Structure 1
């Protein structure tokens, strides 16, 4: 899978007009019925600048109306807004808008259906820098190294660290404490994980009264995540690596140690394993194998990036319907939400995600044209802001109230991600070092997430 280029521009002459349900924070691809006549011609939607001016005029008109109502209650008349004031407000608003898809959008009619898409996933306008001082304080042997040099060292050790994750087993649990016993192979003690992440989502908007939520436990190395995640709060100190004289566990092959549990609230817990796999392996091909639907054995690539996107999209659309492609769209969107919330700015990851998102959007467009009777729900255009503070916040009060949990590594998670109304079960790669899942009472959670 080629993902070395960075710019998008790539949907086949496709119609891309995002319809936003702001109340539920979802993007909806609507197949709106026409008046019975078919149209094969394309109509260009006004430019981004004109749309902003029209939106500014609408907003200012609404502001004047509300102000007039307020002043009329006090027996005064509101002054008219001058053109200079309107231009100043419009300029200030344009400068404060996030840099989200300013490319022209188009709308095309196919039979009696109108298909709408967004072209690209937004990147943070002012990304935070990774706190290098915290990283070096936790790992003094990196003193004097730059962040790129540290990432290079982590990439070299990534496969070995990932192997240690798969060799880690958590002890059976009936409650989620602040620390958790773990077993790790004796020969991997030098690469043993430093923490367990207890990954969970905020309360679902579609089911705000749900009493229980699912927590998934992942072993992790703090060095890897703190090197990539600018918004991840400092973790509690890790336990010391067991010495060579540490007695073996009952199986005679493992050593027992204790690792801190770090609560981590994310928009898409299901895609955390996919993100973790990339951070350890930096393998865009493996990422694409999880994000894209299965391709025919004859799938080929072109030296030209745009042509590769078109070829892959056509092969996917010919093999899978819109519903199947939409599952992968939701998975890619969930991964993007986690990346934004954690403050990951790795260019390789963003370039790969841009590429696969363009393939999925093109494939979904083509598949929807072939099946114009379907109605598809996409995830929200941007992750909600409150999970950002939850990443750095206290998270679940695991130790405050004794609670009986049903924990099992084979438990099936049925909840949806907090920021989407789709209920399709999405899976993480089989190589994801999942330890266990547990359902627990919602009143034990930090509801600010």
Structure 2
């Protein structure tokens, strides 16, 4: 595996399912051969059947998208956050504070799901590492989840030096832990380009990643640069060189929250990273819970704080569309928290009776975990907190959202421009 320095130390169930035990099957070679070619385990057969039956036709998905598009927008009137108080030395020793500004904000009732479904294929994974050419995609994802703690430990142990020059094709990083699973790439995320005439450099954020984790979940991602030969494993701190993988995202500041979900598939952690407080665990399971939680948020936080988190959730949605993530649990969670912040904003702005459609899970035929799978949505323990804080660092330091006289969040396509030849292209544009 390209993301390991020592291929002999692979986890046994990472890409090779347990033996089907053909010696115990009494002379049914044809059946064994057929099952082996299909999935090699009964679990894979069930996963494949569920996946094939769950993926609906393009026509049906387009109809669902059109139905969602007819939803009315909601208009909120929000007081902007006042500027910081500036102490001015005056004769009377008083301070001056800028007045607040009232602005309207238009939000859609729902965030539309992509109208066309695109599945991650074994060929996409094999393009990164041909070891997994015939591996079932869902089985591969489950294998990554088994080693989730090792992968997260790997990310938290990497230190990237700040760059003051142009971005190179390869970077030296320091790994301060004797981790077995090393990152494969440095992901360089570009945001929107500066305004015309601006001399400010284009912002780029660097993250260590395991390319197989992203490729396994993101159908729109282009293949990353070839991985470099893994270094010899040594104890303690070591320096290694990783290739730089550049992409352009609509919302770079929400990538840490999305990345955390792709590694852990923990919906509860994701919602906690984009909401002002932790959401109840039954937010999606009990009818009316999103309204109750939204009312609580609206009574607890001012409208300006809720607007900030509304824009974070919108940015998360943009990244999901751009990367091509078709995970049913993730999309259902997005619908739930979007409905929650709409209710919260109606309460915070003094309109608790505003007509907001209740949250209802909508089956778009996207992939989902088995109902009897391990509970990955549990609240993390204190031991897991370090990994969460590592990937959520950008979220904690995000600046407050600024908005003009008339701000409107539209169900727009995530990518609206064509980058220059020297700039990274968006995943959705490739």
Which TM-score tier does this pair reach, normalised by the shorter chain? 0.5 to 0.7
Which residue of 181, 204, 219 corresponds with 2:172?
A: 181
Q: Deviations over 1:23-66 (max 9, x none)?
A: xxxxxxxxxxxxxxxxxxxxxxxxxxxxxxxxxxxxxxxxxxxx
1:201 paired with 2:191, answer yes
Question: How well do the aligned residues superpose, as a CA RMSD in angstroms?
Answer: 3.6
Counterpart for residue 153 of structure 1: 143
The alpha carbon displacement at 1:384 in A equals 4.0
- d(CA) in 1 for partners of 2:312 and 2:75? 26
Counterpart for residue 240 of structure 1: 229
Q: Deviations over 1:176-207 (max 9, x none)?
A: 2110001113521x311000011111225xx3
- d(CA) in 2 for partners of 1:174 and 1:114? 40
Which residue of 387, 390, 407 corresponds with 1:377?
A: 407
> Comparing both chains, which one has the higher relative contact order based on Cα–Cα distances under 8 Å and sequence gaps of 6 or more?
1
1:99 paired with 2:99, answer no
Counterpart for residue 283 of structure 1: 266
Which residue of 100, 122, 144 corresponds with 1:132?
A: 122
Is the 1:224–1:280 contact (alpha carbons within 8 Å) kept by the matching residues of 2?
yes
CA gap of 1:174–1:311, structure 2 versus 1, over 3 A, is same
Q: How does 1:421-432 map to 2 (within 5 A)?
A: none
CA gap of 1:394–1:260, structure 2 versus 1, over 3 A, is farther
- d(CA) in 1 for partners of 2:64 and 2:290? 29
- d(CA) in 1 for partners of 2:293 and 2:337? 10
Local SS of the residue matching 1:99: helix
Counterpart for residue 271 of structure 1: 254
Local SS of the residue matching 2:188: strand
Counterpart for residue 48 of structure 2: none
Counterpart for residue 385 of structure 2: none
Aligned length: 290
- d(CA) in 2 for partners of 1:129 and 1:301? 29
Can you give the 5+ residue segments of structure 2 that lack an aligned partner in the other structure?
A: 1-61, 78-102, 355-403
The alpha carbon displacement at 1:396 in A equals 5.2
Local SS of the residue matching 2:68: coil
- d(CA) in 2 for partners of 1:187 and 1:96? 52
Counterpart for residue 31 of structure 2: none
Please report the TM-score for the alignment, with normalisation by the length of structure 2.
0.60
Q: How does 1:27-426 map to 2 (within 5 A)?
A: 99=66, 101-102=68-69, 105=72, 117-175=107-165, 176-188=167-179, 190-204=180-194, 207-211=195-199, 212-244=201-233, 253-294=236-277, 305-370=286-351, 377-386=407-416, 395=423
Is the 2:176–2:238 contact (alpha carbons within 8 Å) kept by the matching residues of 1?
yes
The alpha carbon displacement at 1:143 in A equals 3.6
Q: Deviations over 1:274-333 (max 9, x none)?
A: 11111111111111111111369xx79678533210110110000112211010010000
Can you give the 5+ residue segments of structure 1 that lack an aligned partner in the other structure?
A: 1-94, 398-417, 419-447
CA gap of 1:346–1:96, structure 2 versus 1, over 3 A, is closer
- d(CA) in 1 for partners of 2:67 and 2:161? 45
Q: Deviations over 1:237-274 (max 9, x none)?
A: 11222124x6x7xxxx2111100111111111111111
Q: Which has the larger radius of gyration?
A: 1
Please report the TM-score for the alignment, with normalisation by the length of structure 1.
0.57
Moved over 6 A (4+): 106-110
Counterpart for residue 14 of structure 2: none
The alpha carbon displacement at 1:134 in A equals 2.9
